[in-house]
Amino acid sequence: MAIHDAAIAEFSTHGIRGASMARIAEGAGVSRPALYQYFANKDEIFASAFVALFEGHVEQALAALHSDASVADRLDGFLQRFVGDLWERMAASQHADEIETAKTGDVAGAIGELLLDLWSALATALAELAPGRSAAIVAQRAGWNDLLQLGPKGLRADQPSIDVYRQRLRSLAETVAADIEASSR
């Protein structure tokens, strides 16, 4: 949607406080009155645009996870499409902190639901990759899930370059994949 693209560009360039409905309308190629037919204010546009952005990244991550690639490539694709691409986009904005902390109820709730779906799909994929019901394999899958969910946050704690961060994500994927493959031997 052109309005979402224009809104994301505007919020990334000017932050939430500095964003302008007029510039969003201009960027989307619609009149300002037409923009107000869809959205009452900047908060609504922000919520809609960033939820749509997250939805797109979740869809891409899940497509990578369910591809026919190797386990390492599937896990890497999952991490790259979700956390890598999102972080690269946010790191490009000088307003990233403002955007990341601006979680209105609508945004937080919708993104929370998307994340639940994402992590549930990851858990299902891990169960398919390493089937079994024993306490040991269930605990091992939970550990992999934790690493894949929480590890990416720690991998960017020192604010690495995008290339370094993406390589770290690849290393995480390869490490988990090697453990998955070892568990199935």
| DSSP annotation string for 48-103 | HHHHHHHHHHHHHHHHHHTSSS-HHHHHHHHHIIIIIHHHHHHHT-TTHHHHHH--
- In a domain, residue 37? The reply is no
- Domain for residue 34, yes or no? no
In a domain, residue 35? The reply is no
What backbone phi and psi angles, to 5 degrees, belong to 123? -60, -40
- Return the pLDDT at 105: 64
Contacts of 153 (CB under 8 A, 6+ apart): none
136 belongs to a structural domain: yes
| 160 in a structural domain | yes
What's the CA gap between 22 and 2, in Å, rounded?
Answer: 14
Confidence (pLDDT) at 1: 84
Domain count, the chain: 1
Residue indicated by tokens 């107000």: 36
63 falls within a domain: yes
**Tokens encoding 69:** 């690639």
Q: Residue 160 is part of which domain span?
A: 51-183
Contact 29, 2 (CB under 8 A): yes
Does residue 12 lie in a domain region? no
Residue 10 falls inside a structural domain: no
pLDDT by 10s per residue, the chain, length 185: 899 999 999 999 998 889 999 999 999 999 999 999 999 998 899 889 989 999 999 999 999 999 999 999 999 999 999 999 998 988 888 887 787 777 666 777 888 899 999 999 999 999 999 999 999 999 999 999 999 999 999 999 998 999 999 999 999 999 999 999 999 87
Give the model's pLDDT for residue 111.
86
